[in-house]
Amino acid sequence: MAAESGIAGGRPRRTTRAPIKAPLAMTEGESSGSPGKDKTQASEKTSADRLEYLLTNPRSKLTKIDISDVLSYANFLDLSPGSQQLLVALLPLTAFTAFSPSVPPTHVDYLPPQVDYRPPQSDVEAAVPLDDDRMDVDAQPSGSGSFPGTQERTPATLDPAVFTSPFFLSAARTYQDHLYSGWFGKKAREEVAQFQSGVHEGTLHAEWKDDVWERDHHPQQNPPRQVDLTALAKRGLLQQGDVLSFRRHFSRSSMTVEKDVLIDSINESSSTINVLVPPRTTPNLHATLLVNGRGEPEPQDRLQLMEDIADPIVLASGILDIDGRVERADRGDANGSTARAAWKSFTVWRWRDEMRDDIQSQMTMARGGRERVGTLFYLSTYCHGK
Query: What are the tens digits of pLDDT across the range 3-19?
Result: 444 444 555 555 555 55
User: pLDDT value at position 239?
Assistant: 93
Residue 258: pLDDT band with limits 50, 70, 90: very high
Higher-pLDDT residue of 41 and 296 is: 296
372 Cβ neighbours under 8 A, 6+ residues apart: 347, 348, 349
- Do β-strands 7-8 and 11-12 pair in parallel, antiparallel, or remain unpaired? antiparallel
* Mean pLDDT across 238-255: 90
Has residue 122 got a pLDDT over 70? no
Higher-pLDDT residue of 57 and 26 is: 57
- φ/ψ of residue 12, rounded to 5: -65, 145
- Cα 90–chain centre separation: 34
Has residue 176 got a pLDDT over 60? yes
- Cα 177–chain centre separation: 17
Percent of the chain at pLDDT > 90 equals: 39
b/e sequence 142-179, b meaning 16+ C-beta within 10 Å: eebebbeeebebeeeebeeebbeeeebeeebeebbeeb
User: pLDDT value at position 138?
Assistant: 42
